[in-house]
Amino acid sequence: MSEKKKIVIAEDDSSLQLLLKFRFEEEGYDVFTASDGERALELIDSKLPDLIISDIMMPIYNGLEVVNKIRSRNNNTPIIMLSNAGQEEMVLKAFHIGADDFLSKPFIINELLIRAKRILK
């Protein structure tokens, strides 16, 4: 009996958040959602997820700050960034500070599911 993998999704777009939660739950994950960076960090600290999916632009702390904070605590949980068009520079930066992967919007959720699966292996 394998435990359910836990995922924290940090995304301020409510529609996307809803969709992602639905899809990942369909896949059998335990999903915890946050609409801002601060809440995301709280969830990460409390739920100790196996994977973090985070948007770059968010209120309070943005995606980069979240990555930074996590990595500086020596937390090596895999992180996938979601970016908008025109945020390439930020994406690169994210990689520099420790993000593992990224996906630019709009995307097919299936693709995200595949990447997630791969990282968690």
Work out whether the CA dihedral 100, 43, 3, 103 comes out positive or negative.
Answer: negative
Interface residues with other proteins (CB under 8 A) are 12-16, 18-19, 22-23, 26, 105-106, 108-109
Q: Are 97 and 7 in contact (CB under 8 A)?
A: no
Give min distance, CB of 73 to other proteins, in A. Answer: 30
Task: Determine whether 74 is exposed, middle or buried from the number of CB atoms within 10 Å of its CB (0-12, 13-18, 19+).
Answer: exposed
Q: Which is nearer to other proteins, 31 or 44 (CB)?
A: 31
Amino acid identity, residue 79?
Answer: I
Smallest Cα–Cα separation from 12: which of 75, 76, 61? 61
Q: Which is nearer to other proteins, 44 or 56 (CB)?
A: 56
What six digits make up the tokens of 96? 């520099």
Give min distance, CB of 115 to other proteins, in A. Answer: 16
Q: Which is nearer to other proteins, 12 or 30 (CB)?
A: 12
Place of tokens 């994210």: 94
Give min distance, CB of 84 to other proteins, in A. Answer: 8
Q: Which is nearer to other proteins, 19 or 48 (CB)?
A: 19
Give min distance, CB of 16 to other proteins, in A. Answer: 6
